[in-house]
Amino acid sequence: MNKITITTLGRMKAEGEKIVVLTSYDASFARLSEQAGVDVLLVGDSLGMVVQGHESTLPVTVSEMVYHSANVARACERAMIVADMPFMSHGTPQQALDTAGRLMKEGGAHMVKIEGGAPQVETVRHLTERAVPVCAHLGLTPQSIHQLGAYRVQGRDAESATRMIEDAADLQAAGAQMLVLECVPTLLANEISRNLDIPVIGIGAGPDVDGQVLVLYDMLGISVNGIPGFARDFLSGAEGIPDALSRYVAAVRSVDFPAAKHSF
């Protein structure tokens, strides 16, 4: 069983093979997801909402992210593990390095994910120059919910779309090796994906990117906060959770998901 690495994901992008990403927070779901063929397990700070019951991701701590990442890492043999850098854990490059060090050394993550555009470029450079692989995150950035005011699509107007294109290029130049686009119009996501050499993973960003990610509980239709419009309940009609996970993998690989109704 060959381990998934950033080199694997780069080859998949080059060959047009869709990358399957799913959030994971514990050993049991991590093992089932890996067995279903999920390539990347994202230990998301979304756990603050779907596991802990908070109204946002903001209360999640670094220690909680380390704990959940370690749970996932102990169950995996093949999948690549990416861990979110939680809110207020990367305010300076040095703080970001300290947080990333814990997520990788104690939590077993292979890569860390940081939300934000231009203000994060120097932090991304600081990390990648010190052997920390980074996944950037643009579009809807949940840690900025109090600035955004609502969970809504980003990049609809020309100015914000241009800024997102520029931020994506700058983050890649700073060393980011993967990018997540959340709640971004399909045409804009497609342009960003085509312009970058690194894999671009979408969530509510249409089908024309290099892969897809969903929150596990959304994909199973069991999120306590309701299912977002860009998600699909794969447990509905399935023969259980393993079958639902396999259906998700197959749907992403075949570009059956996301459909137009899951896109903007």
Nearest-angstrom CA–CA distance, 101 and 91: 15
> Reduced to 3 states, what is the DSSP secondary structure of residue 45?
coil
Beta strands 19-23; 40-43: pairing state: parallel
Select which of 55, 115, 166, 182 is catalytic: 182
> Reduced to 3 states, what is the DSSP secondary structure of residue 130?
coil
Name the token pair of 75: 């169950």
With a CB cutoff of 8 Å and minimum separation 6, the contacts of 101 are 132
- In 3D space, the residue among 46, 23, 19 whose CA is nearest the CA of residue 151 turns out to be 46
With a CB cutoff of 8 Å and minimum separation 6, the contacts of 73 are 81, 107, 108, 109
| β-strand partners of 113 | 84, 135
User: What is the full DSSP assignment across 56-84?
Assistant: SSTT--HHHHHHHHHHHHHH-SSSEEEEE
Catalytic status, residue 159: no
How many angstroms from the chain centroid is the CA of residue 134? 11
User: What is the full DSSP assignment across 196-254?
Assistant: -SS-EEEESS-SSSSEEEE-HHHHTT--TT---TT---SSTTSSSHHHHHHHHHHHHHT
Could you list the active site residues?
Answer: 182
